[in-house]
Structure 1
Amino acid sequence: MVATTADAWKPARFATKELSRRTFVDFEAFHNSVHSCGCMLYPRGRHLSPAAVTAEKRAELLGTPDRSKKKFPHHEWQMARNLAEMKELVWAGKAHGILVYADKEPVGWCQYGRAEELPIEQNEKTPPNRIARDPTSAWRITCLTTRRDFRGQGVATRALTAAVEAIRKKGGGWIEATPVAYPYSNREWRKIKRTYGVRSEEMKEYLKTWPEMRIPGVGTVKASLTTSQTADHRGVMAMFERLGFKPTQRDGHGSSPNWWSPYDLVVMRLKV
């Protein structure tokens, strides 16, 4: 009997593992597969400096991008450096996260850690949006990433659930996250941007009807523009609510200050 397409397709069975020396090779494989930055923004509180300031100089040093072959020399150079720094933190026990696997292949990631380690060095130059918003927060969940072909299958929620449980096992305390208030898919915004420009009068008029929602105890917040191809790395409020997180305030440090690109983040907390 020949199997049909429906018979052949089976939903992936997900499993999770902690980031460790043993799983670091999977961390590297995952971030290379999603062409991401390698997650040094939160541990260091900033992106690492580029090889050179201008694109021309970077191309001179490392080679020019080739989109047809998906070859981006400067990005590859940055990724290698980020992963090398992350490896040092993992070996020192100062980096934490959850990897999600589908049939033994890494397809999702959730970064979490102690508030004093995200970022590791905190001083007067550290941007406020890189530091825990509430001084009583002992832990932070900062980044969620899912491989594009596995989105919409609950990978991020699985990673988040495992991160909360890992924090519980490490002693618990208040956990803080700053997800977007809620996602909103909208083609018209992009059409107006292409036609008139992002800061045009036409855009200003259109955004008068941009969706908002009221959160009890927080106030009115604006939607965040997303598509099936893009997702905010901080996650969305609803997935945190399902695990018991409560919104406490609008995140004034992380929400967009620009009228032409509106979105709001909310501070959410859970004690375990």
Structure 2
Amino acid sequence: MSDYTIKALTPETFDDFAALVERNKGMFASCWCTHFHPDCAEKRQSAEGNRALKQRLVAEGIAHAALVYDGDQAVAWAEYGTPDELPNIHHRKEYLATTDQLPDYRITCILVERDHRGQGLAAAALRGAVELIADAGGGRVEGYPHDTGGVRKKNSSFLYNATRTMYEREGFSYDRPKGQGNCVMVREVAGRGARDSR
């Protein structure tokens, strides 16, 4: 893991993110990681349209991710943002009916390039997102991983937000189920001055 570094998704790192997405065929149905944004463009645009949307949102400072680098190449990421920036979570109706408060930030997608899986990079991406959230002031952070019961093996291609077990190892606590096979995990993250609130 010492050879891997974390960088924020910014206009300066967008081309590295784009290269990762292009190597992986645009990601889930060529969505370019726009699915959770308000415009949810992949339902009506081409991959090129989704790419342009993502680039615009990054330029406007309302699309965030922790990029994991192997040398000069981004090989994984964790998308995060405020509920206003990422409202389109799965099982949203159920989620809103069972929540007492919205988080300050949510982590909606974690992806590791196929050739780099099995090396702990999903956890590294999650830690990177938490660190960037701490830099931004911290707060209540939620993630929505797959709850596999710690037993059932699921194809990693379908684990768009990793597993409950991994979130638990990274200091998140189980809050409640969300949909079939997913759950809400919560962690209070201190702002950078106080370092880590675990």
SS of residue paired to 2:162: coil
Measure the CA separation in 1 of the matches of 2:82 and 2:17.
Answer: 19
Structure 1 166/113 Cα, relative in aligned 2: closer, same or farther at 3 Å? Answer: same
Structure 1 87/245 Cα, relative in aligned 2: closer, same or farther at 3 Å? Answer: same
Greater C-alpha Rg: 1
Measure the CA separation in 1 of the matches of 2:161 and 2:114.
Answer: 16
1:23 is aligned to 2:40: no
Counterparts of 1:110-259 in structure 2 under 5 Å?
110-119=78-87, 127-128=92-93, 133=99, 135-182=101-148, 226-227=154-155, 230-251=157-178, 254-255=179-180
Query: Who is 1:39 aligned against?
Result: 33
2:75 partner amino acid: V
1:49 to 36, 43, 60: 43
Deviations 1:197-254 (A, max 9, x none): xxxxxxxxxxxxxxx67xxxxxxxxx76623x62411110111111110001111xx3
- Aligned-pair CA distance for 1:14: 0.9
Question: Unaligned 5+ residue runs, structure 1?
Answer: 1-10, 52-77, 183-211, 214-222, 256-263
Query: Who is 1:200 aligned against?
Result: none
- Aligned-pair CA distance for 1:118: 0.7
Question: Unaligned 5+ residue runs, structure 2?
Answer: 190-198
1:101 is aligned to 2:69: yes
Measure the CA separation in 2 of the matches of 1:268 and 1:118.
Answer: 16
- Aligned-pair CA distance for 1:133: 4.9
- Aligned-pair CA distance for 1:83: 1.0
Percentage of pairs with the same residue: 32
RMSD of aligned Cα (Å): 2.7
Measure the CA separation in 2 of the matches of 1:171 and 1:80.
Answer: 34
Asked if the contact 1:138–1:175 (Cα under 8 Å) also holds between the matched residues in 2, the reply is: yes
Measure the CA separation in 2 of the matches of 1:48 and 1:267.
Answer: 25
Q: TM-score, normalised by structure 1?
A: 0.61
- Aligned-pair CA distance for 1:12: 8.1
Measure the CA separation in 1 of the matches of 2:100 and 2:32.
Answer: 26
Deviations 1:77-129 (A, max 9, x none): x2211110011111111110011111211110110011221138x9xxx9537
Structure 1 175/45 Cα, relative in aligned 2: closer, same or farther at 3 Å? Answer: farther
SS of residue paired to 1:39: coil
Measure the CA separation in 2 of the matches of 1:134 and 1:150.
Answer: 38
Structure 1 237/45 Cα, relative in aligned 2: closer, same or farther at 3 Å? Answer: farther
Aligned residues: 183
Asked if the contact 1:177–1:269 (Cα under 8 Å) also holds between the matched residues in 2, the reply is: yes
Structure 1 103/114 Cα, relative in aligned 2: closer, same or farther at 3 Å? Answer: same
Q: TM-score, normalised by structure 2?
A: 0.82
Measure the CA separation in 2 of the matches of 1:163 and 1:34.
Answer: 21
1:269 is aligned to 2:186: yes
Query: Who is 1:14 aligned against?
Result: 4
Structure 1 45/269 Cα, relative in aligned 2: closer, same or farther at 3 Å? Answer: farther
